[in-house]
Chain A
């Protein structure tokens, strides 16, 4: 699975959009981009995933660049409950159960 790079921490004002970047320059054609988050003392929570098209669900939007070497997770209206560590993972679908999560980005939403 391709390696990902994320900033260690970010701040966001409550009610504003949080844009979390992820670099995955070695991604291969059959690898998906997945995002999870982990709120303190809880297990990680699946957020969204995509291959090459932008995706949106009730939690977030995922923007993947045309060359697929980077992506951005967007939380449109961040709340204090969105404070968590966000993990970006790249993996083949057949390796779905095999991921090792990196250090992620600690997002702090401030009032």
Chain B
């Protein structure tokens, strides 16, 4: 069974631009969570989607948004990029929203210049 895939793996953007990251969960998994990982803040929860609905949201500004499609694939969007948005963005999938087993993808390394 294929694992969680994320595209692109690396991305360089400039301040003020917007970016869209994609995540394909493990087949059969309906929950997708997004995390931001930075050296200073560690791994922080952004939001979780299940059955195309946002179920949980972390403490990030409205510039960070996401969505989930009927095939469970998910995208997250960051608008008006700031230097501090440079991070590794990880997505994790699980079978259901309350599942304790999350499987992470390799991440997308975003650099904002």
Contact = CB atoms under 8 A, between A and B. Distances in A.
Interface of B: 4, 31, 33, 35, 42-45, 48, 50, 55-56, 58, 90, 92, 94, 97-107
Contacts of B92: 43-44, 97
B106 A46 contact: no
Nearest to B4: A43
A100 B58 contact: yes
Contact of B105 (A34, A43, A96, A98): A43
B58 A98 contact: yes
A42 B43 CA distance: 13
Given A43-B92, A100-B44, 10 more contacts: A38-B43, A43-B4, A46-B101, A49-B101, A93-B100, A96-B102, A97-B33, A97-B45, A98-B56, A101-B44
Contact of A97 (B44, B55, B90, B106): B55
A44 B45 contact: no
Contacts of B44: 100-101
Interface in A36-73: 36, 38, 42-46, 49
17 contacts: A34-B100, A38-B43, A43-B105, A43-B106, A44-B104, A49-B100, A94-B97, A94-B98, A96-B97, A96-B100, A97-B48, A97-B99, A97-B102, A99-B45, A100-B43, A100-B44, A101-B35
B104 A95 contact: no
B107 A43 contact: yes
A45 B92 CA distance: 10
Contacts of B4: 43
A96 B58 contact: no
Contacts of A36: 102
Given A43-B104, A95-B56, A97-B97, A87 B43 contact: yes
A102 interface: yes
Contacts of A44: 43, 90, 92, 102, 104
A32 interface: yes
